[in-house]
Amino acid sequence: MDFFEAWEFLLEHKMFNRCFRDILYIMVVKVNPDTCEIDDDETKNTRTEVWLECGPWGAEYNTHDWDLDCGGDTFEGAIIKLANLVKQYYDDDGIKKTDKYVAIVEEDI
C-alpha cells in the first residue's frame, strides 16, 4: 500500500465516520536513535519521528485506541503503518475484531 492508498483508506474507513482528519493526533518528536524513545538527556534525541494517535469516532467523544499508536521517519510512512494497523485490528464495518468475539450472557432468573 502506498501513501495515497493508505490516506484514502483511512478517510473512508467506517470506524472514523468520515471524521478521520478530526480524530488524528500528530506529534513530531526528536528521539534517541538507539532506543526510539525520548531520552531525558536531550542531546541524545537526534532522530526526528512522526507519531500518530487516533481511535474510533464516537457520537459524544472520540476514543484513543492504543493498538493504533504508531510512528515513522516521515508522515507518509506513519500513515501507511496506521492504515495497516486499522486493517489488522478493525473489520470493514469499523468494529474492533476482538470486540466481535466478546459476548455477554444473561441468565433468566
Residues 8-20: tens digit of each pLDDT: 999 999 999 999 9
Q: What are 60's three cell numbers?
A: 459524544
> Could you tell me where the DSSP H helices lie in 2-108?
3-12, 20-23, 75-89
Q: Is the confidence at residue 105, as pLDDT, over 70?
A: no
Q: Is the confidence at residue 61, as pLDDT, over 90?
A: no
Q: Quick one: which of 58, 60, 50 has its CA closest to 96?
A: 58
Cβ pair 55, 64 in contact under 8 A = yes
Q: How many CA atoms lie within 13 A of 19 on its CB side?
A: 15
Which residue would you say has higher pLDDT here, 51 or 57? 51
| Helix, strand, coil percent content, the chain, rounded in steps of 5 | 40, 20, 40
> What is residue 63's predicted lDDT score, i.e. its pLDDT?
81
Which residue would you say has higher pLDDT here, 101 or 68? 68
Give the span between the Cα atoms of 52 and 78, in whole angstroms: 7
Q: Is the confidence at residue 106, as pLDDT, over 60?
A: no
